[in-house]
Amino acid sequence: MDFSLNENQLNYLETVRKLVKNGITPHILEMEKAHAFPWGIINKAWEMGIINLCIPESVKGYEIDVVSSALIIEELSYGDTGISTSAMCNDLANVVIGLHGTDEQKELYLKPFVEKPLLASFCLTEPNAGSDNSMMTSFIVKQDDGSYILNGSKSFITNASYASQFTVICKVGKPTSNFMACVVIPVEPVTSKEIPDIGQSTREINLPTSGKIMIGKPEDKLGQRLSNTASITFEDVIIQPKQIIGDRRFGFKYIVDVLDNARPMVAAIGLGLAKRALDVTLEYTKERKQFGQRICDLPVARDMLTTMWKKVELAKLALL
C-alpha cells in the first residue's frame, strides 16, 4: 500500500508548519498565562485556508478530504492542541450541514464561514448525557404557527463563548422522546474586532425573534487552555423549519455521521501532541548530561526513546 502524500497534502503541511513555527510555538505560554483566546492565530489560519475544511465547494469552501484534514489537524496539534481543537470543532458543527442540509441551508449557514473568520459550536453533551445520548433532555416543541421552541442546557461546548453559530442536537416534542433533531442557530457574528477577549466572562445573547442563549464562564481546564469551553443554556429559542437540518427524526444518525468525521481528527490531535512530546524529549536528552554523558547516549534512555519513536510511527500509519 502506498502511503505517499500527494502534492496538495504536502503543500498543506508546509503551510501549517510555517504557522506553527512562526505564529503558534513562540506565543503559547504567554497566551495561556494571560487567559487570552488566540484570535490572531484563528484569523491567520482562516486566511491560509486551514480551518473550515469541510465546507463544500458549492458555497466556495475548500471541501478538503478526511485524510488531508487529519494531516492539517495533526500539524496544528504539534503547535498546540487547544488551537487545533477549536479548529476541528468548527468542522464538527458544520459538517452535518454539508452532509444533510439543503442547498439553501448551505448558503445560509456555511457561506458566512467562507466570508469571515467565524467560529461555530457543536452542542451535543449535556450535564447528564455524555456518551449516552438517550439521556438528553434538551428538546424542541412545535408551535401552532409551524415554528418550534427550544429549551435545554449543554455542557463542555467548544468555542461557546465566541461562536457565531450553534449546531444543536435535541429531542423532538418532549425530553423523553426517542426522536432527535439537529437544528442550527445563527447569532450576531463574532470576530476578534467585536469581542477581542471575553476572558473569564459569561455571555448572554438576546435573539431578535424571541428567547436567549446564556453561555457560562469558560471552564478552567488542565490542558488545551487555548480552546474555549463553556456551558450553554437555550431558553425559549424560536426555531424556524428552515433551521432544522434533514429529517427532524434522524438526529441520532446525524450524531453518528459527525462523530465518524471527528474520530480521525481526535486521533490526529493525539498524534500531533505525541510527535511534539517526542521532539521535546529528544532535544532535552541531547542537552542534559548524567554520569558524564548525554542522557540520549545511555542504553536505557536509548531504548525508551526508540520505543517512543516506534509508537509515534505506528500511530501515523494507523491514522493514514
More confident residue, 256 or 201: 256
Please state the CATH superfamily assignment of the domain spanning residues 7-261 in this structure. Acyl-CoA dehydrogenase/oxidase, N-terminal domain (1.10.540.10)
| pLDDT per residue as tens digits for the range 217-272 | 999 999 899 999 999 999 999 999 999 999 999 999 999 999 999 999 999 999 99
pLDDT, position 230: 97
pLDDT, position 77: 97
More confident residue, 73 or 36: 73
CATH 1.20.140.10 placement within the chain: 262-319
pLDDT, position 197: 55
Q: What is the CATH number of domain 262-319?
A: 1.20.140.10
pTM over 0.95: no
Least confident span in 59-63, 289-293, 302-306: 289-293
CATH 1.10.540.10 placement within the chain: 7-261
pLDDT, position 110: 98
| pLDDT per residue as tens digits for the range 73-93 | 999 999 999 999 999 999 999
Mean pLDDT across the chain: 94
Q: What does the block give as the cell for 284?
A: 532535552
Q: What whole-number distance in Å separates Cα of residue 287 and Cα of residue 294?
A: 7
